[in-house]
Amino acid sequence: MRSVRQCSRTACTRAAVATLTYVYADSTAVLGPLAQLAEPHSYDLCADHAERLTAPRGWEVVRLTTQLEDAGPTPDDLSALAEAVREAGRVRPPARPEPGTVTETARRGHLRVLRAEGD
């Protein structure tokens, strides 16, 4: 399911719709569709900031998309959310009791050391 990321520009609270990356070796700024994951060396921009983007003198801006719109949740996103809620609400069968021949000898967090009798 897609998470809503905000524009990277200071004081902007709008949803990001595009990702900006720089190719320093080529003096190029690349503006494309919103990346699946936030990367440390890229910037997420809202539609307004993406449209008004300018590059430093001598740099080129490559725009990989022409329409920058917030698509909002898709049916797939809503289906995934509904499935997650259903999964969380399912009744799980009770844990199977351990046989009487097994004893717990140690515990560390969620892990247990079990010893079968006769070992």
Range of the domain at 69: 1-89
Total domains in the chain come to: 1
Quick check: is 32 in a domain? yes
Quick check: is 69 in a domain? yes
Q: Give the predicted TM-score (pTM) of the model.
A: 0.55
In tens, the pLDDT along 10-55 reads: 999 999 999 999 999 999 999 999 888 888 899 999 999 999 999 9
Quick check: is 71 in a domain? yes
Residue that the structure tokens 């990989």 belong to: 64
Quick check: is 19 in a domain? yes
The model's confidence at residue 65, banded by pLDDT at 50, 70 and 90, is: confident
* Helix, strand, coil % in the chain, rounded to nearest 5: 20, 30, 50
Q: What angle do CA 41, 67, 31 make, to 5 degrees?
A: 20
**Torsional sign, CA 47, 19, 67, 27:** positive
